[in-house]
Amino acid sequence: MKFLKLAAAAATGIALLSSTALADDKPVVGLVMKSLANEFFQNMMEGAKEHEKSRGDYVLKAVGMQNETDFESQINAVDTFITQGVDAIVIAPADSRAMVRPLKKAMEAGIVVVNFDVSLDEEAKKQQGVELAFVGPDNRGGAKLAGDALGMKLGEGGKVVIIEGNPGADNATQRRLGFEDSVAEYKLDLLDSRTAHWETEEANTVFSNMLTANPDVQGVMAANDSMAIGVVKALESAGRDDILVVGFDNIPAVGPMIEDGRMLATVDQFGTDMAANAIDLALEVVAGGPALEGWVKTPIELVTGE
């Protein structure tokens, strides 16, 4: 397939990283991620760039958003990749419903699309007549691993709160449900549950307000590590070291926090490899392999200091 060598029209608010010049003999993969302010996606970006170098048989064009809720930038990125005639789009959608229509447009243009990390909304896919596999972890099961670790420490009646991710993202919903599964199983007392849209500073503010309203809280379930860090900062500012915190993602910044007890646990979903593995699957389809179907599960693992 010949590629259109148009200049990249990166929309305002998008960080566009393109590697080498396009080569006619190599397929081009457009990688669309979420916020590059999040260490999880920074690591994912580095993993994808290393993967491109190690394989050497494709060209990577990678896009990241400025913040977790700027899904318009993702829509613009998909449109740009369609115009450029890339061979595959590999995407971790910021909004599980809003991204279905643009990706349908890409599929109709003959582009291989792989949805990874955050699943597209099933009902929205049905409405658009889209059949697309999901490559990613069991977010509900992973959150339950972290929630169970907290439940075992606190025991029945333990008072907890949940810091949720972006309400428009399926993984945020699944992680909240996983935490709620732990609340039910361990008979915990859920005092409050609010979103902080995956952001550290927002989580700091949200949890500070929760703590003021519920000074007897004993545990916090944060749907990602960026928000868990915001919770830890709020606890440090309040002079509280008696509240247990769990997160999700296992970004490097939380390693010392788990070691010294500021966090109880997190869940590793091996983000550095996630985009690279999805790119491998996309390239297999580009090369003539069968289309992906259903749910291609990727690994998760509980990480504690014990």
CATH number, domain with residue 230: 3.40.50.2300
Look at residue 70 in the predicted model and tell me its pLDDT: 84
By residue range, what is the domain housing residue 234? 139-268
11 within domain boundaries: yes
Look at residue 2 in the predicted model and tell me its pLDDT: 33
Whole-angstrom Cα distance, residue 103 to residue 282? 14
214 within domain boundaries: yes
Whole-angstrom Cα distance, residue 78 to residue 81? 5
Whole-angstrom Cα distance, residue 142 to residue 132? 23
45 within domain boundaries: yes
Q: Is 194 exposed, middle or buried (0-12, 13-18, 19+ CB in 10 A)?
A: middle
Low-confidence ranges of the chain (pLDDT < 50): 1-22
Whole-angstrom Cα distance, residue 139 to residue 244? 21
305 within domain boundaries: no
My answer on whether 54 and 112 are in the same domain is yes
My answer on whether 28 and 108 are in the same domain is yes
My answer on whether 143 and 54 are in the same domain is no
Name the β-bridge partners of 212.
none
DSSP string across 33-88: EEETTSHHHHHHHHHHHHHHHHH-SSEEEEEEESSTT-HHHHHHHHHHHHHHT-SE
My answer on whether 253 and 150 are in the same domain is yes
104 within domain boundaries: yes
304 within domain boundaries: no
b/e sequence 54-92, b meaning 16+ C-beta within 10 Å: eeeebbbbbbbbebbbbbbbbbbbbebbbebbbbbbbbb
215 within domain boundaries: yes
My answer on whether 106 and 166 are in the same domain is no
pTM above 0.85, yes or no: yes
Q: Which two tokens stand for residue 158?
A: 């333990």
Whole-angstrom Cα distance, residue 119 to residue 8? 27
* 295 Cα distance to chain centroid: 16
Look at residue 260 in the predicted model and tell me its pLDDT: 97
Q: Are 161 and 217 in contact (CB under 8 A)?
A: yes
Q: Report the chain's mean pLDDT, rounded to a whole number.
A: 92
Look at residue 306 in the predicted model and tell me its pLDDT: 82
* 52 Cα distance to chain centroid: 21
What are the φ/ψ torsions at residue 269 (nearest 5 degrees)? -115, 15
The helix (run of H) or strand (run of E) holding residue 100 is helix 100-108
Q: How many domains does the chain have?
A: 2
Whole-angstrom Cα distance, residue 152 to residue 190? 15
My answer on whether 256 and 173 are in the same domain is yes
Q: Give the tens place of pLDDT for each residue, 213-263.
A: 999 999 999 999 999 999 999 999 999 999 999 999 999 999 999 999 999
My answer on whether 224 and 294 are in the same domain is no
Look at residue 22 in the predicted model and tell me its pLDDT: 46
My answer on whether 125 and 160 are in the same domain is no
306 within domain boundaries: no
My answer on whether 59 and 145 are in the same domain is no
The size of the chain, in residues, is 306
My answer on whether 255 and 200 are in the same domain is yes
My answer on whether 115 and 19 are in the same domain is yes
My answer on whether 7 and 131 are in the same domain is yes
